[in-house]
Structure 1
Amino acid sequence: MPVYKNENAKGDNKWWYQFYTGEIKNGSRERITKRGFRTKKEAEKAMVEAQAALQKGEYIEPSKKMFQDYLNEWIKTKRNLGEQTLELYESYLRTHIIPILGQIPILKLTAHDIEMFLNSLHDKGLSASTVKRIFSVVNASLNSAELKGIVAKNVANRVEKPQASSRRQLVVWEPEFVSDFLEKTRYASRYWIAVYLAVMTGMRQGEILGLRWSDIDFENRNLTIQQTVNRHREIKDGAKTKKSVRSVALSPETIEVLKEHRKLIVQERVELGPEYQNNDLVVCTQFGGPTTQRAIQKVWPSFLKKTGAPKITFHDLRHTHASLLIKQGVHIKVISERLGHSSITITMDKYGHLMPNMQAEAADGLDSLLKTKAGQK
């Protein structure tokens, strides 16, 4: 393999490759050379990719490659990301990054270009947290470019990283209000069941819309999250992360509510007959098809208006579920498992502030324990 290593007095031990294109240029066989790889394996991999691109007629000389061309190649390698994360990255590329930075050759991209780009995002009125996430995408792409030897250095590392503003304070409902809210809205829409499940299980919206009757064990009172419905009404296997594919215990009342809702679904299926789209979904249209997230968001404001409820988002019901468990003294590990968090750290980071009284209760409990022991002597 035409892969070489620099070994000189300057201590330059980087690897590089060189191969012939098969073309004659200015009377000599044309060669493609690329330097700056940290390992032999990286150089070999980059050379194979360059040769494949050359055969397909897609090879672009590094000096002429635009940042947008590189970004479009880079995002195709990120298939290990969750679906929603990948959609978000692609949206940032399409809407913000490529329109501003895309036409700059990647080798000519500077820290100043990145700084001006960040300024333009702030000028658009984007939140600090959104700007930080967009910058993270640019930074990750350039880290990968440096690792592959496409650029010598990631210029984004020379830019002061944007700081996110303080996290939005979680808004949750008290138990008494939740009960009243669910009772007043129960027959307001066929999609009430989605609201109920959000409160009683803490499931994400996509998980609720993807829930099937076959995923529910009525006898043992639990459900298993195995698929989701995305914003395009597509049913997807799996969940947000491996940890999100999980079982969630159900209360006796939740089982009864689901049984009642199933009667409606069975009735619609019988009435429509062969025209019914039997996807086995718990939350579905009257024709059996997947429900759009937009449909849920459309009825949600009417529920708030009907009950005079404090304004929160549908996703905040997931936080309300967590707060209800915390008020019951449920162990944080159990809460983390129900929510499908990848670690307890995430759960504590989100909901730790809802537990201010737990240490006081623990301290008081020590007094009670020691007094009891003293009285037994």
Structure 2
Amino acid sequence: KKNISQKKELKYFETNQLKQFKDYLDKLPNTFRNYYHKTLYDTLLATGLRIGEAVALEWSDIDLDNGYIDVNKTIVWSRMETNSPKSMAGYRKIPIDRNTVLMLRLYKARQHQCFIEHGYGGKMAEHVFSNGLHAYPSREGLQKTLTKHLKLAVLPYLTLHAFRHTHASLLLNAGISYKELQQRLGHSTLAMTMDTYSHLFDDTEKEVVNFFEKAMANL
């Protein structure tokens, strides 16, 4: 009963909603604040990182030459400090696509320029999603900004975790295996991944029938 309830409550961007949201973001004024949040959303979407893992990232954790992110810590929100991941499975290296690599390269250069212009300390520039004044933004502040953007984009309320669910949905529909998804998301068990996301793609149910028909035809 618990699993069924969790599945009903799982919220993520539908394909048309994701396109609508990205179109909205692309039309925003080209301020660093907008650029910052757009980069955060795109990073969450491209990696499936938990928001605490993303906010904890330092540039030394991202290998832009070889295209991967080394996840080795997360934020403890109550203390605004980093700590080790929830489990050993949380330690992982996530490959990232070329567009995401390019996006992060451009963002890093603009962040550096912005911090110099405003006189922010060099220490702040070590943190990927520092706002210049603090190493780590607050979860409440990030959610408040996302809620504002969703409202302006005429989309329903979603949490920051929706990007992780959307990432999983996109990959499953593209054909990734549950085992690969488990490792990418940092789940402790395969059962956790399957219980959480097995209902996110309906088309595969039809594919199963097609596979059976082909198997029978080959007898």
Please give the TM-score of this superposition, normalised by the length of structure 1. 0.51
Q: What do residues 114-141 of structure 1 show as CA deviations (whole Å, max 9, x unaligned)?
A: xxxxxxxxxxxxxxxxxxxxxxxxxxxx
Secondary structure of the structure 2 residue equivalent to 1:191? helix
Give yes or no for contact 1:281–1:288 (8 Å, CA) kept in 2.
Answer: no
Secondary structure of the structure 1 residue equivalent to 2:94? strand
Considering Cα pairs closer than 8 Å and 6+ residues apart, tell me whether 1 or 2 has the greater RCO.
2
Give yes or no for contact 1:232–1:292 (8 Å, CA) kept in 2.
Answer: no
> Which residue does 2:42 correspond to in 1?
196
Aligned residue type for 2:9: Q
Give yes or no for contact 2:52–2:74 (8 Å, CA) kept in 1.
Answer: yes
Report how far residue 177 of structure 1 moved.
2.8
Q: What do residues 174-212 of structure 1 show as CA deviations (whole Å, max 9, x unaligned)?
A: 234313312322456222222222211111110010011
State the distance in 2 between where 1:174 and 1:354 align: 10
- Map 1:166-205 onto structure 2 (within 5 A): 166-167=5-6, 168-186=8-26, 187=28, 189=34, 190-205=36-51
Secondary structure of the structure 1 residue equivalent to 2:108? helix
Which structure shows the bigger proportion of residues in helix conformation? 2
Among candidates 336, 340, 345, match of residue 182 of structure 2 = 336
State the distance in 2 between where 1:235 and 1:341 align: 22
Secondary structure of the structure 1 residue equivalent to 2:132? coil
Give yes or no for contact 2:57–2:127 (8 Å, CA) kept in 1.
Answer: yes
Give yes or no for contact 1:233–1:290 (8 Å, CA) kept in 2.
Answer: no
The answer to which of 268-277 and 308-317 deviates more is: 268-277
Matched, 1:258 2:98: no
State the distance in 2 between where 1:237 and 1:164 align: 29
Report how far residue 360 of structure 1 moved.
3.0
Give the fraction of aligned pairs with identical amino acids, expressed as a percent: 26
| Shift in CA distance, 337/170, structure 1 to aligned 2, threshold 3 Å | same
> Which residue does 1:290 correspond to in 2?
136
> Which residue does 2:91 correspond to in 1?
245
Report how far residue 166 of structure 1 moved.
3.0
State the distance in 1 between where 2:100 and 2:216 align: 40
State the distance in 1 between where 2:113 and 2:76 align: 26
Matched, 1:303 2:149: yes
Q: What do residues 295-321 of structure 1 show as CA deviations (whole Å, max 9, x unaligned)?
A: 201201111012111222111221111
* Higher radius of gyration, 1 or 2: 1
Please give the TM-score of this superposition, normalised by the length of structure 2. 0.84
- Map 1:1-377 onto structure 2 (within 5 A): 166-167=5-6, 168-186=8-26, 187=28, 189=34, 190-232=36-78, 234-273=80-119, 275-278=121-124, 280-287=126-133, 289-368=135-214, 371=217, 373=218
Aligned residue type for 1:337: Q
Can you give the 5+ residue segments of structure 1 that lack an aligned partner in the other structure? Answer: 1-162
State the distance in 1 between where 2:147 and 2:38 align: 12
| Shift in CA distance, 170/238, structure 1 to aligned 2, threshold 3 Å | same
Secondary structure of the structure 1 residue equivalent to 2:9? coil
The answer to which of 245-254 and 231-240 deviates more is: 231-240
State the distance in 1 between where 2:102 and 2:4 align: 43
Can you give the 5+ residue segments of structure 2 that lack an aligned partner in the other structure? Answer: none
Q: What do residues 215-257 of structure 1 show as CA deviations (whole Å, max 9, x unaligned)?
A: 1111221101112223246331421221111111111111111
> Which residue does 1:71 correspond to in 2?
none
| Shift in CA distance, 364/164, structure 1 to aligned 2, threshold 3 Å | closer
State the distance in 2 between where 1:274 and 1:354 align: 43
State the distance in 2 between where 1:173 and 1:164 align: 21
Give yes or no for contact 1:222–1:250 (8 Å, CA) kept in 2.
Answer: yes
Give yes or no for contact 2:112–2:125 (8 Å, CA) kept in 1.
Answer: no
Count of equivalent residues = 212
Q: What do residues 87-133 of structure 1 show as CA deviations (whole Å, max 9, x unaligned)?
A: xxxxxxxxxxxxxxxxxxxxxxxxxxxxxxxxxxxxxxxxxxxxxxx
State the distance in 2 between where 1:317 and 1:365 align: 31
